[in-house]
Structure 1
Amino acid sequence: MYKPATIKDIALALQLSPSTVSRALRDGYEISEETKKIVVAYAKQVNYKSNPIALSLKNKRSYSIGIVVPELANSFFSQAIAGVESIAYEKGYHTIITQTHDSAERELINVNHLAQRSVDGLLISMSAQTSDYSFLKNLHDDGLPIVFFDRIIDDIDTFKVTSDNFSGAYNATESLIKTGRKKIALLSNAPQLSITNTRLAGYMKALADYHIPFRTELIRNCSKGGNDYHEVENAVKELLAMPDKPDAIFVSSDRISISCIRALKNLNFNPKEIAVAGFSNSDVVDLLQPSLSYVRQKAFEMGQIAVEMLLKLIESKYPITEFETKVLNTELHLIK
């Protein structure tokens, strides 16, 4: 089995102390240029790779926090980041913000880049396409503090904060039912996301409580999370083309809600025939035409709680073994 070269291996081969090798690789001023050249050349020869996590844990903190979100243009995430920064800067930490555009590949690249920058910790909301979380688990096992917000996962035991997605979805679906709608379609995000399954459960419970049959043909998943408008438009077209088409649509994602409204408008639908309710933190949602009832999440507060959790992990003098998942209430705003 291949074992990567370590600083100790290089020190032994060159008959130097490990501390001298370490300082030479970091371009330390106290090491001669000749020694640096010898060490760097040999390290390259044996394909030595530094461990950024081990290095950051050994050295003093960088006072920087990595933030990974699906999309900065999404009102929810921009508000959550504002919450993070309101606490982080007050505590003397800088933030490095990256976006994945709901791409698993880009998420992996971004996370690794942040780890190599030796951030003190990571705040992440998972991309819609990610289903393999081993890269995060490996970093977590190496000692990198990680906190999940909004789109959380069960695979890693750490602090998490999200919304009461079940109640939010239930209340939105119930609001449609109370207007007399009984054929309620669901436009949803990628099925592997935690928010997708919880909001689906809330939607199904509302239907059951009002004795409305659950119809799988009324469910559409948008695996690209609303980043591909045509994916959402095609889903809406399919629903409207059904012989027994829906009389309402519940959209269980912020980004998809906006795309759904745009698609309906482009398709010249009759707003009296189809009502819409969805999740949205957009500041201009009340101006949208056609209008929709919407569930608003406490994004700013979520960001604040997430970074406070992360700072607790970063600054604790002892290992933390008991973790909390905090769930924040949502607010339903009805069409006036």
Structure 2
Amino acid sequence: MRTPSHVPVLLDRVVALLAPALERGQRDTVLVDATLGLGGHTEAVLSRLALTRVIGIDRDPEALALAGERLAPFGDRFTGVHAVYDELPAVLADLGLASVDAVLFDLGVSSMQLDVRERGFAYAEDAPLDMRMDGSTGITAADVLNTYDVRDLTRVLRDYGEEKFARKIAGAIVRERAKEPFTRSGRLVELLYAEIPAPARRTGGHPAKRTFQALRMEVNDELAVLRRAIPAAIDAIGVGGRVVVESYHSLEDRLVKQAFVAATRLDVPEDLPFVPEGHEPSLRLVTRGAEKANAEEISENPRAASVRLRAIERTREAAA
């Protein structure tokens, strides 16, 4: 098994967005790193902000173990929790926390999961078709390929992978699995090369990229989890608190944008000439639209190419 690597995306910018919520004079503050991974963002926060402690959530037990080793020098300033990030309210209740100062999401597949061949996330090497972020529970990518009908496979590939040839690929998967069930990624990649026309293979990156992304999102129910998690994170922050989100897929970013816009919307009729006292939004957008990585960052860390970064801040207590 290869040792996983980890280069956090937009590290300095993320810490800069979190810092105003976490630097509160001499008061101790709490960050929830809802997608801990190997702990790169958490390590930077703990190193630079001496009065902050971090609760790191991850559904992947292997990531938790490796991050725990990396962050051990920080002692009780770090607490690791095995959970899915939409379970944030239950995690905070278990820890006796009514609110926190900031929540960070770095969405999508982690560097560790991509780099460890046996996890089956990467299409560059032949590996078991697993793709579960928590390998102890749930369906695998092989289960999806071998049991979903053509209509459901098409939906997954089209909606989560934005794959133009979704129907054609789904039909081929159903035909081929009748001969032998899918178990390894190499066979799926061969099928994709055969089904995606040559002109399309020459643009848009590796021809397997969209299908593998779609399978991963289906296996881990990522969009439904995110749809629950962002409002929960917004509810969890106190006044001056921030939620910072890095997403890497247009569907993820759209969900985040919609949740942030809804949270900052005025609670008054559109034609009212003024905002009555007490009806101002209790949150404000910190970033103007979605921030992207610059060319230098992308050259140093290619995984930053598709990142979209957004942040929101609570400015006053929510109306009762």
**TM-score of the pair, normalised by structure 2:** 0.29
When Rg is computed on C-alpha atoms for both structures, the one with the higher figure is 1
